[in-house]
């Protein structure tokens, strides 16, 4: 297989960035469906909060179990074919989700989500280091931020599109289900409600197959992480994977970051529902968080790395996240929800900063290090589920703050000191 190093001219980056941007748009759309899906499954399967939060649990745990196998697959297929394979796996998962949800088999629904996550794990394990090494590592946050704009714009659209197709008139529907005269009448209503996802998800499966074919036939170059990510820190890359302190601290950092990102994006509907706000309003709260993230990306792209370094911007973002979380705790109702949505702005530039800082100088360990970082996406499974459990014991606002504030403080530490590569800081 013929591979190449990162393109050397700025113009050579354009088409690969557009192509990878398309990838980020598609898996952003699918990822950020989890927020409205939590509301959907609560109604369709008659679940409590802990049962509904198995949606992000199943989705994000797939990254933990499959990121390292994905790294091994990518060594065999190369990044380009690996991305295409990821789309095919996602297509299978989307078809499974549509079929099992229509039949109201919740274990099958979760299996479909896990399979979609498996395909995304392969895509993320390939695309994140790919965009990081496409040019100088010092500018990786800016390139990833451009990808983030595509990702979060798709996430902003997802709740509106899913809501228009599936979640229309939730308050009225919920009232009809509760007032159904018999169990059979209630089940008939729920069956019809669940079946609304079948056609959209089958169409999604078809689109994902088309994208797999497109990637295989595209002129996307196949980069070699081991040579493109050595540079000034090449001597450090001679260590084993366990010798890179900044990588392991970065794994913890990314785990906590994804956790707070999902708390702000997916758990915001349940957060608003805990104030007894209308379902027709709470189903759109994820979009507000994603809109704030879009604004954060635009600001971040303008400031990094020319005016503010990746690590300094990460520290500022973490402090802002902690302050906003405290604001959410001290307020009520729609104002408190607005604070939670505003966390999107603080969270926007965290992934673009953490990922390249954590893989900096890994050289031949870049793919393994990237896979370990992708495993940390499991924070999106465990931290929101921990919130669902903790809010049964204490006030839900206190539960939210108790999880998020310490996470932001650790992220601040990583931007201050934890990112430093031994011998090169």
Residue 306 binned pLDDT confidence (cut-offs 50, 70, 90): confident
Nearest to 33 by CA among 117, 103, 99: 117
Residue 331 has pLDDT above 60, yes or no: yes
Provide the mean pLDDT of the chain.
Answer: 86
CA distances to 139, 237, 315, 346 from 310, rounded to whole Å, are 8, 21, 9, 14
Residue pLDDT, tens place only, 333-360: 999 999 999 999 999 989 888 988 898 8
Question: Which of 100-109, 190-199, 399-408 shows the lowest per-residue confidence on average (mean pLDDT)?
Answer: 190-199
Could you count the other beta carbons within 10 Å of the beta carbon of residue 191? 13
Residue 233's pLDDT band (cuts 50, 70, 90): very low
* Bridge partners of residue 223, in order along the sequence: 4
Report the alpha-carbon distance of residue 298 to residue 166 in Å, rounded: 31
With contact defined as beta carbons under 8 Å apart, do 167 and 44 qualify? no
Confidence of residue 113 (pLDDT cuts 50, 70, 90): very high
How far apart (Å, rounded) are the C-alpha atoms in residues 314 and 202?
39
Let me know if residue 84 belongs to a domain.
yes
β-sheet bridge partners, residue 4: 223
Considering the domain boundaries, does residue 374 fall inside one?
yes
Distance, CA of 134 to CA of 223 (rounded, Å): 8
- Residue located via tokens 């998020």: 404
Q: Which domain holds residue 218?
A: 10-228+235-418
Distance CA 56, CA 52 (A): 9
Token readout for 251 is 């794994």
Query: Residue 24: which residues within 8 A CB-CB, separation 6 or more?
Result: 127, 147, 148, 150, 151, 154
**Non-local CB neighbours of 342 within 8 Å, separated by 6+ positions:** 292, 324
C-alpha closest to that of 123 among 39, 20, 10, 192 = 20
Q: Which of 16-20, 21-25, 116-120 has the highest mean pLDDT?
A: 116-120
Residues 6+ apart with CB under 8 A from 135: 6, 7, 10, 13, 143
Please tell me the total count of domains within the chain: 1
4 phi, psi to nearest 5 deg: -140, 165
Closest CA to 204 of 67, 112, 125, 289: 112
At residue 425, the pLDDT reads 46
Beta strands per DSSP E along 195-336: none
**Residue 381 within a domain:** yes
pLDDT at residue 389 is higher than 90:
yes
Is 4 contained in some domain? Answer: no
Say how far apart CA 43 and CA 137 lie, in whole Å.
46
Spell out the residues 6+ positions from residue 7 whose beta carbon is closer than 8 angstroms to its own: 13, 16, 134, 135, 221
Q: Does residue 13 have a pLDDT over 60?
A: yes
With pLDDT > 70 as the criterion, what percentage of the chain qualifies? 89
For range 88-109, the mean pLDDT: 96
Q: What is the CATH number of the domain that holds 90?
A: 1.20.1250.20
Residue 3 lies in a domain: no
Q: Has residue 425 been placed in a domain?
A: no
Does residue 1 fall inside a structural domain?
A: no
Q: What is the mean pLDDT of residues 250-265?
A: 96
What pLDDT is attached to residue 54?
A: 95
- pLDDT bracket for residue 241 (50, 70, 90): confident
Q: Give alpha helix (H) positions in 135-243.
A: 140-165, 170-178, 183-194, 198-217, 225-228
Is 274 contained in some domain?
yes
Q: Please state, as a whole number, how many other Cβ atoms lie within 10 Å of the Cβ of residue 164.
A: 9
Distance CA 235, CA 212 (A): 37
Report the pLDDT value the prediction gives residue 321, as an integer from 0 to 100.
98
């Amino acid at each position: 297989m013929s591979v190449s190093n990162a393109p050397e001219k700025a113009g050579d980056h354009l088409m690969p960035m557009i192509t990878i941007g398309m990838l980020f748009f598609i898996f952003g759309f699918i990822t950020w469906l989890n927020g409205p899906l939590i509301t959907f499954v609560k109604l369709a399967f008659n679940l409590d909060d802990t049962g509904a939060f198995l949606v992000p649990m199943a989705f994000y745990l797939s990254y933990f179990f499959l990121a390292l196998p994905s790294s091994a697959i990518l060594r065999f297929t190369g990044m380009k074919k690996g991305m295409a394979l990821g789309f095919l796996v996602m297509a299978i998962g989307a078809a499974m989700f549509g079929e099992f949800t229509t039949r109201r088999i919740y274990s099958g629904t979760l299996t479909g989500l896990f399979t979609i996550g498996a395909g995304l794990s392969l895509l993320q394990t390939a695309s994140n280091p790919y965009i990081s090494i496409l040019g100088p590592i010092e500018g990786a946050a800016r390139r990833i931020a451009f990808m983030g704009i595509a990702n979060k714009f798709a996430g902003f659209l997802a709740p509106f599109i899913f809501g228009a197709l599936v979640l229309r008139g939730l308050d009225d529907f919920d009232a009809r289900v509760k007032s159904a005269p018999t169990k059979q009448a209630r089940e008939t209503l729920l069956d019809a409600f669940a079946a609304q996802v079948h056609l959209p998800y089958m169409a999604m499966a078809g689109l994902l197959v088309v994208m797999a074919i497109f990637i295989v036939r595209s002129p996307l170059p196949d980069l070699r992480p081991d040579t493109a990510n050595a540079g000034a820190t090449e001597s450090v890359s001679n260590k084993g994977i366990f010798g890179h302190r900044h990588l392991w601290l970065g794994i913890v950092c990314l785990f906590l970051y994804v956790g707070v990102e999902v708390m702000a994006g997916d758990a915001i509907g349940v957060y608003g529902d805990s104030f007894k706000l209308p379902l027709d309003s709470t189903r759109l709260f994820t979009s507000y968080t994603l809109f704030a993230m879009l604004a954060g990306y635009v600001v971040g792209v303008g400031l990094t790395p020319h005016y503010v370094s990746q690590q300094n911007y990460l520290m500022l973002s973490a402090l802002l996240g902690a302050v906003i979380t405290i604001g959410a705790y001290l307020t009520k109702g729609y104002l408190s929800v607005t604070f939670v949505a505003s966390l999107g702005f603080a969270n926007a530039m965290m992934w673009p900063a953490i990922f390249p800082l954590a893989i900096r100088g890994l050289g031949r360990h870049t793919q393994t290090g990237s896979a370990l970082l992708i495993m940390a996406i499991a924070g999106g499974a465990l931290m929101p589920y921990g919130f669902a459990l903790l809010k049964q014991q204490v006030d839900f606002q206190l539960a939210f703050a108790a999880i998020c504030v310490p996470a932001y403080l650790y992220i601040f530490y990583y931007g201050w000191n934890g990112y430093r590569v031994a011998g090169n800081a």
